[in-house]
Amino acid sequence: MIGLIRQSKSPAPPEPPARGAAPSGRGRVLAPLALFAIVLVVWDLANTQGWVSDLILPRPGAVAVAAYDLFSTGLVWEHLGTTLYETLAGFALAALLGIGSAVAAGSSPLLRKMIYPYAVTLQVLPMLSIVPILISAFGFGSTSKIVIAGLISFFPIFVNALTGLLTPDPDAEELFRSLRVGKKRTFVHLLLPTAAPMIFAGLRIGLTLALAGAVVAEVVSAQKGLGFLVQRYSSQLNQDDAFAVVVVLTAMGLLLYGAIGCADRTFVFWRHAGRLPSRTRSRGRRVRRRLSGDPAEHDATRTAASARPAASEERTP
């Protein structure tokens, strides 16, 4: 009997991790770094063994030295600022038009039938074929690059925002309808929070496409920008510097993508399990500070709390 009790009190063996479970925080960092190290080793081995010519694929060490020279001489900063400005301006234009068009199309079936075909046409249109036309129309400055970046990134923002606005929670929508909530309050308190995850997903895709559009436009015709540097160094067969600029572009794209991810975790915190408890705790701390800083409000809260049992006693027969 004692043996059975001891056996029942023994801890259960740990369950094996579920297949397809998300890796831990250390695994999320080490796995990409391991793959990056493997790529660098294979890359360097291809150069040292003569599998690939240095004129086509320079060595990783030469690319690192070229990147250091670009930053140490200050040559890259002006071009980086130009590309960043064109990317963010085009992205802001696409976000404004895309979300605005999605709100209009989501509020009216007639507007949706009018806007959606043109959005699809803009997406299937080969953008490279009209880049020279847009440059000749808007000039060789930053305006044409902003327009191209905005056109390329418009469609994913529009489609994701429209999909989010058209697929609210049916139960919540029925509740709002039964309470006779107005359209404006329904949009603010139901449709917009429901569509926020889809909107941020579209913004992530749109920002990366805006960077690609700005760089492509700079490669075609520009006097400044990282795309212009890539085109100039490639035409001079200076592959070390060309690859170094590509590395800078990659780092800038990753930083912009991470910035949108941080905004997503901040504004759509209910989708992230780790953010919701922290927001709840911070809100509780703000309430406690407000109550401790305002004695009258604190006394009113205590009076209301003490009045509730008294009221319940009066209702008791």
Q: How many CB atoms lie within 10 A of CB 265?
A: 14
* Domains in the chain, CATH or no CATH each: 75-269 (1.10.3720.10)
Model pLDDT, residue 284: 60
**The total number of residues written for the chain in this structure:** 317
Give pLDDT, residue 310.
44
pLDDT digits (tens, 9 = 90+) for 86-115: 999 999 999 999 999 999 999 889 999 999
Model pLDDT, residue 283:
61
Find the angle CA(59)-CA(62)-CA(65) to the nearest 5 degrees: 155
Q: Which of 113, 97, 94 is nearest to 105 (CA)?
A: 113
Quick one: pLDDT band at residue 12, thresholds 50, 70, 90?
A: very low
Which of 218, 239, 251 lies closest to 79 in space, CA to CA?
218
